[in-house]
Amino acid sequence: MSFPKDFLWGGAVPANQCEGGYLEDGKKLSVPDMLLGGDLHTPRTFLPVIDDTAFYPSHEAIDFYHHYKEDIALFAKMGFNVFRLSINWGRIFPNGDDEQPNEAGLAFYDAVLDACAKYGITPLVTLCHYEIPWNIVTKYGGFSNRKTIDLFVKYARTVFERYKDKVKYWLTFNEINIPCRGLHGGQGALYGLGIMEEEDIHSTHPLPLPELQYDQQRMFEALHNQFVASALTVKLGHEINPDFMIGNMIAHGTLYPLAPNPEDVMACLKKDEMDNGFCGDIQVRGEYPSYAFRYFKEHGIDFSFITEEDKVILKEGTVDLYTFSYYQTNCVSTNPHAQKTAGNMNYGIKNPYLEASDWGWQIDPQGLRYTLNKLHDRYPHTPLMVVENGLGAFDTVEEDGSIHDQYRIDYFRPHIQAMSEAIEDGVPLIGYTTWGPIDLVSAGTGQYAKRYGFIYVDRHDDGTGDFSRSKKDSFYWYKKVIESNGEDLD
C-alpha cells in the first residue's frame, strides 16, 4: 500500500445535516430549514412558511450541536487525523446581512475546533455547504445579486480572522457545480446559490423540489458571482494567514460513453466539460474555459456578466487544493431510450457493468482511480483530496444492539484500494474524508433511514429516537484501516 505517512484520514459532515439547534443561540432560518423530508420515490418539499405541525429533519438533525464532544471523541477513537465540517453561515450572521457577527455562533465553533485540537484532529472547514441564510434568498435573490458577494466575503473574513490559528484547510463552496448540472436544476440552484423564482418563494402549496422553476441565464450569472466570491475569499484568506490551504469542492459525477459509438463519446466529452470540468477549470486555472463560450452561445446565455475586473479577480484567487465528492459514475448516451439511474442531484444513464446501492446509486470503485488520474492530468500542479465518499444504506440493529454493516465495509475497501493505485500512478492525493462517519440527514431525500455512518444514531424519519450513538462493525474496520495507514483492509 502506498499512502504517504502524513496522509489525512477522516470523515466529513455539514452543519445543516447534523447540527440541529436550528434556532438556537441566535441562529435564524437558512435554506435547508425550509425543507421537509421525502424518500427515494417522493421528492423533498418546500413550504414558504414554517409549519409547526410538520417534521423538518434539519431542525434537530442528529443534534450534533449538543453532542459534538461525544462525536469528536468517537472520531478520535477511530484515529481520525482530519475532520471535515462546515460552519453554518446563519449561526455567524443570522440574517446574512447583520452589521455584527453573532458571538454565540462564533463561540460554538471555537468549542468544536478546540474539541478537535484536544485529539490532534486537523479541521477542514467548508464555508458554505448549502447553508445560505433564508433572508439572503428572499431579500437579495441569493447569489444572483452581487451584494451577496460582499455579504459572503464579510462572513469569510469574520471566520478567517477568528479561527486563523485553529484552521489551516478551508473549502469555499460545497459542490459548486451542482447548479449547472442541468438535472434537478431548480433544486441545485436553491441549495447552492440560494436562488428561487418569486412565484415559488410565495407558493401557496407545498412545492416538490424538482418542480422549482429554473432560469439558466440567472443561474449562470449567480454562479459567476459565486466564482468571484470564492476567488476574493481565497485571496483574502492568504492575506490573513499565508499558510492557509484553500480549496474548491466539486461534485464529481464521472461519466463514460455508453457505447463506443463516436456520437456517444462526443456527447460524453461535452457533458463532462460542463458538468465536471467547468467550475474546477475556473477555480484552478483562474479563467473561463473556451468550451464554455460555445455552450453559452448555443444555449442563448448572454455572458456579458464576465467583466474585465472580474477576470482579474478570478486569476488572483485560484485555489491551492482541488477537492471533490465521489459516489457514483454514470453513462452518457445519444439513445433517448437508454435506461436512467437514480441519484440526488447527480444521475445519468445506467451502466450494465455496475451494481447499485439501495438508492440506485451505481457503485464504481475503479472509477475513483480513473477520476483521480484524469484530474491530475487536468490540474498537474494541484494536490487533490477526496472529501466525500460513502454508502447510504438501510441498517438493522440486532437485539443485542450490534449493527453488522459488512456491505459498508465492502463498499469502502475497493475505493481505498483504488486511491492507493492512483497514488502509485503518481497522483498527489493528500487525504480522504468519508461521507457521514456518523449517521445524518440525507441532503437528497431528507431521510434518516439512508444511513452513511460508522456510528449509528438512534433517530428516525417519524421523529422518534433518543439520539444515542453506537458503533457499527464498520467503526472497528475503519479504525484498523487508519491505524495501518491503509494497509490492513481485511
Binding stretches for ligand BG6 (CB under 6 A) = 14, 17, 174-175, 251, 325, 344, 388, 392, 435, 442-445, 450
Comparing CA positions, the residue from 138, 147, 212 lying closest to residue 179 is 212
Judged by beta carbon, residue 420 or residue 445, the one nearer ligand BG6 is 445
- 388 catalytic residue (yes or no): yes
Nearer of residues 126 and 351 to ligand BG6, judged by Cβ = 126
CA separation for the pair 44, 39 (Å, rounded)? 7
Contacts of 20 (CB under 8 A, 6+ apart): 58, 59, 60, 61, 62, 63, 64, 65, 66
**In the complex, what is the shortest distance from the CB of residue 11 to ligand BG6, in angstroms, rounded to a whole number?**
12
Q: Tell me the sheet residues that pair with 469.
A: 457
DSSP code per residue over 223-242: HHHHHHHHHHHHHHHHHH-T
**Catalytic residue list contains 103:** no
Q: Specify the 3-state DSSP secondary structure of 52.
A: coil
Dihedrals phi, psi of 149, to nearest 5 degrees = -60, -45
**Least distance to ligand BG6, CB of residue 55, Å:** 17
Amino acid found at 221: E
Q: Is 396 helix (H, G, I), strand (E, B) or coil?
A: coil
C-alpha cell at 459: 433517530
Q: Which of 131, 221, 388, 421 is catalytic?
A: 388
Burial of residue 151, with CB atoms counted within 10 A of its CB: 0-12 exposed, 13-18 middle, 19 or more buried: buried
* 266-271-276 Cα angle (round to 5): 130
β-pairing, 469-471 vs 455-457, is: antiparallel
Q: Which residues contact 336 (CB under 8 A, 6 or more apart)?
A: none
Residue nearest to ligand BG6 (CB): 444
Catalytic hit among 19, 175, 221, 421: 175
Q: Give Cα separations from 71 to 57, 78, 205, 445, 467 (angstroms).
A: 19, 11, 38, 24, 11
The smaller minimum CB distance to ligand BG6, of residues 33 and 221, is found at 33
- In this structure, what C-alpha cell is assigned to residue 140? 437579495
Min dist CB 165 to ligand BG6, Å, is 28
Q: What is the DSSP letter of 484?
A: T
Question: Residue 55 or residue 293: which is nearer to ligand BG6 going by CB?
Answer: 55
Shortest separation between residue 397's beta carbon and ligand BG6, angstroms: 20
Distance CA 7, CA 371 (A): 19
Q: How far apart are CA 440 and CA 447, in angstroms?
A: 8
DSSP letter (8 states) at residue 361: P
CA distance 211 to 8: 40
Q: Between residues 96 and 444, which has the closer beta carbon with respect to ligand BG6?
A: 444
Q: Which is nearer to ligand BG6, 39 or 98 (CB)?
A: 39
45 vs 344 by CB, closer to ligand BG6: 344
Type and span of the H or E element at 431: strand 429-435
Indicate the SS3 state at residue 355.
Answer: strand
Phi, psi of 125 (to 5 degrees): -110, 125
Minimum Å gap between C-beta 431 and ligand BG6 is 16
For residue 51, what is its C-alpha cell? 409549519
| Residue placing its CB nearer to ligand BG6 in the complex, 158 or 254 | 254
User: Cβ closer to ligand BG6: 87 or 251?
Assistant: 251
Active-site positions? Answer: 175, 388
